[in-house]
Amino acid sequence: MTSLFGLPEKVEHCKKCLLTNQKPFSVNETKNFKGSKKNGLKFKNGICAACQYAETKTNGKIDWNERESLLKKLLDKYRKNGEGYDCIVSGSGGKDSSTIAHILKYKYNMNPLTVTYSPILYTDIGFRNLRAWIDVGGFDNILFSPNGKLTSILAREAFINLLHPMQPFKFGIKSIAAKTALKYDIKLVMFGEPYAEYGSEDNSSVSSPSYNIDWIINDSEDIFFGGTHYKDIIKKYQWVKENDLNSFMPLRSKDLEKSNLKDLQIEFLGWYLPWNPQEVYYYASKNCGYFLDTQRTDGTYGRYAGIDDKMEWLHYYTHYIKYGIGRTRFDACQEIRSGHITRDEGIKLCKKFEGEYPKRYIDDCFAFMNLTKKEAHQIIDNFRSPHLWKKKTYGWKRLQELSEINFK
């Protein structure tokens, strides 16, 4: 059985949560080309890296008082005492960005500038939460909306070549904060949860609060959008000029040098303070007017996370197709690690909702990418790895799944 993406052919399931070694690590999206191989989640004695990190948060190995002292020193270093914005918080007005900005402003007396890279297809509840973040939370905000015509093309290319329809948004959300920092001479950017929450590729995000800036810098000429070299995008779509791609382009090292921001700090608030997704939702709801969705999210059991972009629904479904890990599994594993549900309860949730077809917004997503449903489904099936899927007369059978979940 061959793995299409270079991940292990034998699936290993975590003994504490439900993640597997098929979960790929985040990459610099502009280096993500068609056929590129992935590195998967690491395990030790049957326990995934995410669960190993979760244990360090509660077993006394982390001195949270000391971490908060380090946070206060960091904030004091960049505090401008009323002479401008002290830091940048990038986000959509979701639960995480709402909580980060509110804590920094109202607990630590910072003056954050919030920055939003527009979702590909805003949901009504998503835009409502953006307004609540600004109006109820009380923040200045810059909303950047990229070229919609070009975003449509890049989403289509990413879907066809990588089965990654959210990629154009990933380009922007990962770099907009740093680009805005350069423009406004702000030297501190704050994100929420460190990547170690999901199992980092190495120990850097466990031992360090800083974001790996290599994920948003690309100094080579080999820059890929939708799995295709950017120069080939320009050739294929003759109306596209290189400067049209600026908002999607990565940072260059020379950008930092020119702006005298070589010491730009990009940090994770969740490294300094305990971070719990469900409690973050409660905090955002209480302090920033964050709204739940009006109905359960297709593919999972909740309705409070990842609800601002219609493309999120399709994104998690394609992740399930490629790696056998869908939205229910992600949500349940977070709650297992936080102690809100047991592993057995997570299994029951996966059995009920994992891999559910994202019918709510699927037509909008396919129309945005100028694809018929038939064309889109053919593309989706092309990305089913033989070590995870087998075609049967009744449809597709999931392979190497936990027997308790018992998919067809």
- Segments forming the whole domain that contains residue 76: 65-272
In this structure, what CATH number is given to the domain that contains residue 104? 3.40.50.620
Percentage of the chain lying above the pLDDT 90 cut: 76
For 54, other C-beta atoms within 10 Å of its C-beta total: 23
* Cα 42 to Cα 200: distance, rounded to the nearest angstrom: 8
Angle 272-288-92 from CA coordinates, rounded to 5°: 75
**Predicted pLDDT at 408:** 46
Q: Indicate the SS3 state at residue 121.
A: coil
Local confidence band at 158 (pLDDT 50, 70, 90 cut-offs):
very high
User: What angle, rounded to 10 degrees, do the helices at 277-288 and 95-102 form?
Assistant: 70
Instruction: Report yes or no: 232 and 223 within 8 Å, Cβ to Cβ.
Output: no
120 lies in a domain?
Answer: yes
Beta bridge partners of 13: 20
6 lies in a domain?
Answer: no
383 lies in a domain?
Answer: no
User: For 294-346, how does the pLDDT look when each residue is reduced to its tens digit (9 = 90+)?
Assistant: 999 999 999 999 999 999 999 999 999 999 999 999 999 999 999 999 999 99
Overall average pLDDT of the 149-172 stretch: 96
User: For 349-391, how does the pLDDT look when each residue is reduced to its tens digit (9 = 90+)?
Assistant: 999 999 999 999 999 999 999 999 999 999 999 999 999 999 9
**Predicted pLDDT at 208:** 67
Give the DSSP letter of residue 306: S
**Predicted pLDDT at 2:** 83
Nearest to 174 by CA among 312, 27, 301, 53: 27
User: For 107-141, how does the pLDDT look when each residue is reduced to its tens digit (9 = 90+)?
Assistant: 999 999 999 999 999 999 999 999 999 999 999 99
Local confidence band at 261 (pLDDT 50, 70, 90 cut-offs):
low
167 lies in a domain?
Answer: yes
Q: Which residue has the higher pLDDT, 405 or 319?
A: 319
191 lies in a domain?
Answer: yes
170 lies in a domain?
Answer: yes
CB burial class (10 A; 0-12, 13-18, 19+) of residue 362? Answer: middle
* Cα 224 to Cα 227: distance, rounded to the nearest angstrom: 5
**Predicted pLDDT at 297:** 97
Instruction: Report yes or no: 269 and 191 within 8 Å, Cβ to Cβ.
Output: yes
240 lies in a domain?
Answer: yes
Query: What is the reported pTM?
Result: 0.94
* Cα 317 to Cα 286: distance, rounded to the nearest angstrom: 31
Look up residue 39 and give its two tokens: 């590195």
Total domains, the chain? 1
133 lies in a domain?
Answer: yes
Position 405 pLDDT exceeds 70? yes
